Amino acid sequence: MFWPDIISKKLGVKYPIIQAPMFGVSTVRMVAAAAQADCLGSLALADLSADQSGELIRETKKLTNKPFAANIFAHHIPEVTNALKEKFVETRKFLEQLARENNIDVKLPDLENIKTNSYHDQIDVIIEENCKIVSFTFGNLDEKGIQKLKENGILLIGTCTSVKEAVLLEKSGIDMICVQGTEAGGHRGTFDPDHVPQIGGLSLLSQVYDHVRVPLIYAGGIYNAKTLLAVKELGAQAFQVGNLLLASEESALEPFEKERLKRVKEEEVILTKSFSGRYARGVKNKYIELVEDSEYILPYPYQNKLTNGLRKAAKEQHNIDFVGLWAGQSIHDYSMKSTEEILRNLIIQVEEN
């Protein structure tokens, strides 16, 4: 197969395959392993502080001298109102009680102790550390942020889940767009956290291709040569994979989580706001069943910060019913080989077709 080279040349990689950021699952070792496979690794900085972001960038640089993308969250942080304060207290009490009933010993934080970070705090450290590729999700960067990054020669990759979002990204001067299909695991990249576009990935990719002129990356359901070739036919010039790497050697998932993935059934992979306050696709469990349709879901990032301690405590106890296990709709064998080997095998499969 002839690999599209417009994106790979701009990214400085041999193959236009991108390791999905997957905050909480990917590691600096995974980023370096993807780079070793001549693909693009993505370092998940999410909404970490500037200091934490800088540290992770430097750790990654120690493992690879190849290009990688720094991935950040371009989300809106809701104002702390009296109504939010009251709901936070009620939600914390409910979750602590739920934890006790399920033998999980955890004390969740007060609202005053929760620190939220904006991507504006990360831009300077990204520039200082000479990262030349920035990808982002959950919205669009503001005009000042885009200008600052571009003035420093940084290539920008935005995420869309609708044609409208793609057009907005292109008008803002974003260099490439990652089209995220509904099939993708983890959080939806939607600009509006309360709305999930009900359009399948292949239809979305085809329509975005007809509406914008910037190069397109596709994410959602790619796990073998056939799925990759299908989205190439629809206009994708690069291919983002995440679900394929969940159980890899470099994944941050624990063995009990990887084993759960191997037993997952298609009806168990669902969308939920219960862990973070934003829609994410993952494996249904007891926590989701009890919380999803309740009144105890705060807006992102407050729900995410509040439940973080509960998820960590559950993970330490190997309690699969209270961890957020994100996964996409393309169920496969979830290889435990290295990220480099998994990606090289995908490349070989594609080239043999």
Query: What is the model's pLDDT at position 1?
Result: 60
CATH topology of domain 1-77+117-251+333-353: TIM Barrel (3.20.20)
Q: Of all helices (H) and strands (E), which one includes residue 236?
A: none
343 φ/ψ angles, rounded to the nearest 5 degrees? -70, -40
**Residue type for position 118:** S
Mean pLDDT of the region 153-169 = 98
Q: Does the pLDDT at position 187 exceed 70?
A: yes
Q: Of all helices (H) and strands (E), which one includes residue 210?
A: helix 201-211
CA-CA distances (angstroms) from residue 253 to 83, 214, 318, 324, 330? 36, 35, 11, 11, 18
Instruction: Please give the torsion angle defined by the CA atoms of residues 132, 135, 140 and 144, in that order, rounded to the nearest 10 degrees.
Output: -20
| CA atoms of 329 and 349, how far apart (whole Å) | 21
Query: What is the model's pLDDT at position 197?
Result: 82
Mean pLDDT of the region 290-296 = 96
- Provide the 10 A C-beta neighbour count for residue 289: 12
pLDDT band at residue 353, thresholds of 50, 70 and 90? confident
- Provide the 10 A C-beta neighbour count for residue 249: 16
339-352 and 28-36 are packed helices; what angle lies between their axes, rounded to 10 degrees? Answer: 30
Query: What is the model's pLDDT at position 195?
Result: 87
Query: What is the model's pLDDT at position 196?
Result: 84
**Residue type for position 140:** N
Average pLDDT over the chain, rounded to an integer: 97
Q: What letter does residue 152 receive in the DSSP assignment? A: T
154-179 burial, b at 16+ Cβ within 10 Å, e below that, comes to bbbbbbbbbbebbebbbeeebbbbbb
Q: Sketch the domain layout of the chain as residue ranges.
A: 1-77+117-251+333-353, 78-115+265-326
Indicate yes or no: pTM above 0.85: yes
Query: What is the model's pLDDT at position 31?
Result: 98
3-state secondary structure (DSSP) of residue 223: coil
Q: 36-50, 124-138, 189-203, 325-339 — which is least confidently predicted?
A: 189-203
Asked if residue 255 lies in contact with residue 25, where contact means CB atoms within 8 angstroms, the answer is no
Alpha-carbon torsion 59, 60, 65, 69, what sign? negative
Q: What is the pLDDT of residues 21-33, one digit of tens each?
A: 999 999 999 999 9
Q: Of all helices (H) and strands (E), which one includes residue 97?
A: helix 82-101
201-211 and 225-233 are packed helices; what angle lies between their axes, rounded to 10 degrees? Answer: 30
